[in-house]
Amino acid sequence: MVFTKRLREGVRSGRITCSIRIWQRPHVKVGGRYRMEDGEIEIASIEQIAIQDISHQLAVESGFLGVIDLLKVAKHGPGDNVYLIRSHYVPLRRARKS
């Protein structure tokens, strides 16, 4: 799962824990881990919602200024199904030097 550069610090810090994606079908699965820089995004839940369910608060929780800002980024390809994805960032442990 890819996040736009401006959202990555919020994801890493734990401030952003959800994402809205507009796809034909889900591209991630619950429990799956997806690489992001020095860690991984672990998917906690996926819920299909209606576009009308995207509130200002949900947009802000996703790291955006509002619904219009979110919708400019959320659409990936030709799909029209809206998914609310809850996740958390898991930093990768670095091997200690002996």
Average pLDDT over residues 61-75: 91
Q: Which backbone phi and psi does 75 adopt, to 5 degrees?
A: -80, 125
- Separation of alpha carbons 70 and 55, rounded Å: 10
Residue 51 has a pLDDT of 93
Average pLDDT over residues 91-97: 67
Query: Residue 94's pLDDT band (boundaries 50, 70, 90)?
Result: low
Beta-bridge partner residues of 41? 34, 89
Residue 97 has a pLDDT of 54
Q: Is the pLDDT of residue 96 over 60?
A: no
Amino acid at 26: P
Q: Is the pLDDT of residue 95 over 60?
A: no
SS3 (DSSP) at 69? helix
- Separation of alpha carbons 4 and 27, rounded Å: 16
| DSSP category for residue 53 | G
